[in-house]
Chains A and B, each alone.
Chain A
Amino acid sequence: MARTKTSERDEKHELTRRALIKWSVAAGAALGVSRSKIYEILDKTAGKEVAFAASARATKRAVVIEQGNGSLAWTTLHWPFPAIAAANNPKFSWHLPGQSTVVPGTAKPLTIGRDTPWQNLAPQNQVTAFLCGSNETHNQVAKSTQTLGTNDILGVVSALQASAPATIPVVTIGGAKIGTAPGSAVASNVANADGVVGLFNSAASRAGGLLSKGTDADLYKAQYDAFIQLNRAATRSTETSAYRTASGAAQLLGKNLSSQLQITPADLTRYGLTNTPRTSILNLGKGLIVTAKAFNLGLTNMVAMPHMNDDPHGAFDGGDVNTVPGQLKTIYDAFMADLTAMIDSNTGTPIAADTVIVFNGDTYKLPTDKAGWNDNTPNNSNVVYVYSAGALKSGWFGGATADGKATGFGADGNPATYDGATTAKYATASIAYAVANKDERAIANFANGITISGVFGNPKDK
């Protein structure tokens, strides 16, 4: 379709504005002027709109909870399939028959119950759920719901996030991992939440350490940068990126942020982790506590962590459904409360407004028979849940029906015959769209022609 003169002019204006912002920020960085000061200058010289555009994050942060080994099933007890909950069938895998409510105002149907987190969020900010991909029972990391084209969606996310530099772009905890995509970051893996604190707690920077004095730390960084210039290969284009990362590491070595990341008793209380919960729940909660703090300090853009990985076949038979979903809800609610209370110093908005949370896994288990909570799923389907801070249309795309079938969805978002591979593409492209702050052009190289805006995602604000 031919573009109108007006749209061409607007597009050109947008590019010019982008150029101004880009060069202002770059010049500020070169001159050592803080970003907030640059926004002030832009506000005075180019107007509030330009300053606002400059200060807005181009991409959202991401939290990925990899619910391997059947633990994705727990999340269906937070956000059940609407048809399963509505059936009020005590044999179904919904622990609160007759106690569910439909959330009014969501774009697609969404049902919640007593143990659903984030109930106080606005309807448009509620989760989006996709029935997509295929059942990959007894795997820790699902592939079918984590692939976009030939790329790993988390690799795509890290590539998109490159526009918002962070000290450590991606952190993976335990067995969580991210794959690759063009321009993706390399994840720093740690064993547990304490390991995340350890990333920012170098021995050299502690009291009495070699770099405990700020002047020595600065000198070390300067001398490191000087010494690497004596390596002949350091200026080769194939090596500059690695040396840039290492130079950042040399600077990080002299800073100790562990006290700001440390998990306190107050944190454990807020997250409901004081009553000796099972280890997997404690680890998940601690992971999210540290993630919120790391986001608040601008240290990372993405954290991926495992869930309970407990293959809960006996959750209904043994009664765990009466306690575990509630404990998880407390953790998720506290995490969201933290993200909401923490204000991004650059944008002035809550971090929750610029964060995407993804839940995926290997199998959500059989929704129509709670006995033994078997691994098989209708039409061999899988599920991805996304909290997108309003970037995506909330509610269910596709779903499991009360007669044990899977309903898929098409490119228009409407119900269609279930196709795991195609629906997974829509779901993962939607995750990229949410992380890219609804910028369809930014994800075009990865989404390969899939339209998200207006179908699965809310259009970008004009």
Chain B
Amino acid sequence: MTRFGYILTILVGASLGVAACSDSIDEPAAKPDPGSTTGGDDTTFDHDNDGPTVWELIDRLTKEGPPSFTSHVHSCSKVRIATLGQVLTSVGVNLGIAGTTTAPSAGDLYKTGASALGASSYANRIRENIGITTSGASREFDIFAAGADQIIAAVPTLGRCQVGGVGPQLFNGDTCTAEGITCLIGTPAQTSHVQLCNLTITGASDPTVGKRLAVAALLAAAYTCE
């Protein structure tokens, strides 16, 4: 059933119920009084006796969609390793560039980070992890941090962000641009994004570091969940 059909069914059902019973929606007769299901804060769990109204339910379904849809969509699984590689490439990271032992490149961190990122191990019958772990997220964020310089340099030439063959600048002097942020995170930048990005630049130990921090944090937040 489509979302519209789902809502329509509930609305019709609700209106029929209202028409059949009374002029107004009464509270359920069996509903216990507030506080009547708890003995004391320390001895029992204080149940919430307020059930959802049909209007609240409709409102929620309108915003979130039916349960069969929300259970699939409204959860936060990690970005798959292969997907992360494609994201990195698409924002201008060259995964083939090698760093040094003390300063590994984004490509190095990506290629050596399979275990931390939750890669599958078919020999041990372990599939790729889909949950977010501290180790996986920190490795992903580390990759974004290491690749920040490459990304800043690449944004104006990224095909995915060009309009009429012209790409956006990520920074205008020491301030962030909405177009550049939109290019990075893949959704229209809000005013808050730009303000926070500017705050990052001004709050860092120096503006160059601040720009890299802003890029790393923006990407980390945008790609925390797949």
Binding site for B on A (CB under 8 A): 12, 15-16, 19, 140-141, 167-168, 171, 174-175, 177, 186-191, 195, 198-199, 202-204, 206-211, 213, 215-216, 219-220, 223-224, 226-228, 230-231, 233, 236, 238-239, 241-243, 245-246, 248-250, 252-253
Complex contacts, A236 vs chain B, CB 8 Å? 74
How many Å from the CB of B42 to the closest CB on chain A? 5
- B98-134 CB mask vs A (1 if < 8 Å, else 0) is 0000111000010000011010010110100101111
A335 to B214 alpha-carbon distance, docked (Å): 43
Known: A177-B126, A223-B213. 8 other contacts (CB 8 A): A141-B124, A189-B115, A189-B126, A190-B115, A204-B141, A210-B148, A210-B216, A216-B209
Which residue, of A186, A203, A209, has the highest number of chain B Cβ atoms within 10 A? A203
Q: Does B76 contact A (CB under 8 A)?
A: yes
Q: Does B38 contact A (CB under 8 A)?
A: no
A246 to B209 alpha-carbon distance, docked (Å): 22
Q: Provided the pairs A198-B116, A204-B142, A245-B133 are in contact, do residues A219 and B213 lie with their beta carbons within 8 angstroms?
A: yes
15 A-B pairs within 8 Å (CB atoms) are namely A19-B41, A168-B135, A177-B126, A202-B138, A203-B145, A209-B145, A210-B148, A230-B193, A231-B222, A231-B224, A238-B74, A239-B75, A245-B133, A250-B137, A253-B145
Q: B103 touching A213 by the CB < 8 A rule?
A: no
Q: B43 touching A211 by the CB < 8 A rule?
A: no
A242 to B115 alpha-carbon distance, docked (Å): 19
Complex contacts, B41 vs chain A, CB 8 Å? 19
Binding site for A on B (CB under 8 A): 41-43, 70, 74-78, 102-104, 109, 115-116, 118, 121, 123-124, 126, 129, 131-139, 141-142, 145-146, 148, 190, 192-193, 196, 199-200, 203-205, 209, 212-214, 216-218, 220-222, 224-225
How many Å from the CB of A443 to the closest CB on chain B? 20
A346 to B118 alpha-carbon distance, docked (Å): 32
Select one of B104, B121, B212, B225 contacting A189, CB under 8 A.
B121
A168 to B135 alpha-carbon distance, docked (Å): 7
A245 to B203 alpha-carbon distance, docked (Å): 25
Complex contacts, B218 vs chain A, CB 8 Å? 227
Which residue, of A190, A206, A226, has the highest number of chain B Cβ atoms within 10 A? A226
Q: B102 touching A220 by the CB < 8 A rule?
A: no
Complex contacts, B42 vs chain A, CB 8 Å? 12, 15-16, 19
How many Å from the CB of A199 to the closest CB on chain B? 5
Q: B124 touching A239 by the CB < 8 A rule?
A: no
Complex contacts, A188 vs chain B, CB 8 Å? 116, 118, 133-136
How many Å from the CB of A22 to the closest CB on chain B? 11
Complex contacts, A211 vs chain B, CB 8 Å? 145
A239 to B70 alpha-carbon distance, docked (Å): 12
How many Å from the CB of B153 to the closest CB on chain A? 15
| Chain A residue nearest in CB terms to B142 | A202
CB-based A-B contact count at 8 angstroms: 172
How many Å from the CB of A234 to the closest CB on chain B? 8
How many Å from the CB of A121 to the closest CB on chain B? 33
Q: B141 touching A210 by the CB < 8 A rule?
A: no
A295 to B201 alpha-carbon distance, docked (Å): 37
How many Å from the CB of B64 to the closest CB on chain A? 8
A238 to B71 alpha-carbon distance, docked (Å): 9
Select one of A16, A199, A216, A230 contacting B135, CB under 8 A.
A199
Q: Provided the pairs A220-B213, A230-B221 are in contact, do residues A175 and B124 lie with their beta carbons within 8 angstroms?
A: yes
Complex contacts, B200 vs chain A, CB 8 Å? 219, 223
A427 to B139 alpha-carbon distance, docked (Å): 37
Complex contacts, A174 vs chain B, CB 8 Å? 124
Complex contacts, B129 vs chain A, CB 8 Å? 186, 189
| Chain A residue nearest in CB terms to B189 | A230
| Chain A residue nearest in CB terms to B220 | A224
